[in-house]
Amino acid sequence: MRKTTFFLVILLTWLSVMAFYTNQILLSGSRPIKTIREITDISALPVTPQLIALASVTWLFLILGIINLFSIIFSKKEIYPNNKTSPVIPQKTVLKILFMLIFYFLLVTFGISKIINTKLIVEPNTASAIANAILLIGSAGILLQFAPREITRINFTLNNFKLAFKTFTAILPACLLAKIININLIHFFNIPETVNPAIKILNTTTDIKTVILLFLLVSVLAPITEEIFFRGTLFSALRIKRNFMISAISTALLFSLMHEISADILPLFFIGMFLAWSYEHSKEISVPIMVHALFNGWISIMLLLIKASL
C-alpha cells in the first residue's frame, strides 16, 4: 500500500510539473503549437442547454475527481478492505489465450473484414463498426472460455460500483493533464497525430444504427474484453511473481501502445495504471470493467452532445 501511495504522489507531481513546464515553453513562442489555453478553448461552440449541462457535469466530475484523487493518495487504510487473494493464472493458460487471440485477430483482419467490406452494402463506418464488434465478441468468447473462472466472474455490486465511480472521477484530472502534455509534445517533436477511430466515426457518421452500435462497442464490449485480457489475464499473471508497480506499468504500457493512438499515449497509459490499481484493491474484474465503461461512455456522450449542438 505504501508503494502504491508513493507512486500516486510522484505521478500527480510529475504530471503537474510537466503540464506547467511544457505550457511555459510553448507560451514562450519557441514553436507555434498548441497551448493549454488553445486546447481548452470552447468559445467557438454555441451556447445551448445541452452544452451548459454538459459543462456543469464535467466540472462537477473534475472537482470530485481531484477530491477522490487526493483521498486515494493520502488514505492510510485500504479503500476496499476484504480477505480476497489475487487470482492465479497459469503461464500455459496465458500463452494459450495469447495464441488464440492472435489467430482470431488475423482471421478477422484479413478474412472477415474483407468479406464485410465487399459483400455487405453498408457505409464504410458501419462496416468498420461491424468488424470491430465481431472482433470484440469473439475475443470475449475466447477469454471467457479459457481464462480461470475466478478472473472472468463479474459481480456488479453496489460496493464495486462505488469504487469504480471513485476511480473514474479520479482518472479525469490526471487524464486531462496527461492529454495536454501529450498534445503539446507530439506537436513539439513533429510526431504524426493519430486519433481514436471511434471518435472519427462518431464525429462523421449520420447513421443512427452505426452510432448505437459504436456506443455499445466502446461502452460495453470493449471494457469487458480489454479488462479481462489486460487486468484479469496479463496483470494477474505478472502479479504472481512481480510487485504491483512492475505489473501495472507493464500492462498499462502495453494497453496504451496497442491502441496505436499517438494523441492519447500518455492518457491511455495513466488510465491503465488506475485500472490496475482498482483491480489490485478490489480483486474483482467488474471494478475496472465499470471504470472503463464509465470513462468510454462519458467521452462518447460528450462527443455526441457537442456534435448535436453544432
| Number of structural domains the chain divides into | 1
Neighbours of 57 (CB within 10 A): 13
CA–CA dist 113, 138 (Å, integer)? 13
Is residue 107 situated within a structural domain? no
| Low pLDDT (below 70) residues in the chain | 1-47, 75-87, 117, 119-123, 125, 310
Alpha-carbon torsion 18, 253, 228, 201, what sign?
Answer: positive
Examine residue 116 and state whether it is found in any structural domain, yes or no: no
Asked if the structure places residue 119 within a domain, the reply is no
Number of Cβ within a 10 Å radius of residue 154: 15
Q: Can you say how many angstroms the Cα of residue 122 is from the centroid of all Cα atoms in its chain? A: 29
Say what the pLDDT of residue 17 is: 53
* CA–CA distances in Å: residue 160 to residues 50, 156, 279, 284: 30, 6, 10, 8
- Does residue 281 lie within any of the structural domains? yes
At residue 13, the pLDDT reads: 57
Residue 286 lies in domain:
47-75+155-309
Tell me the HSE value of 89 on the side-chain side, using a 13 A CA sphere.
Answer: 26
Q: Is 225 among the domain residues?
A: yes
* Confidence (pTM): 0.83
Contact 223, 292 (CB under 8 A): yes
Residue 108 covered by a domain: no
pLDDT at residue number 30: 45
SS3 state at 75: coil
Number of alpha helices (DSSP H) and beta strands (DSSP E) in the chain: 15, 0
Residue 120 falls within a domain, yes or no?
A: no
Q: Does 161 reside within a domain?
A: yes
Q: What is the largest CA-CA distance in the chain?
A: 59
Among candidate residues 227, 230, 228, 248, the one with its CA nearest the CA of residue 239: 248
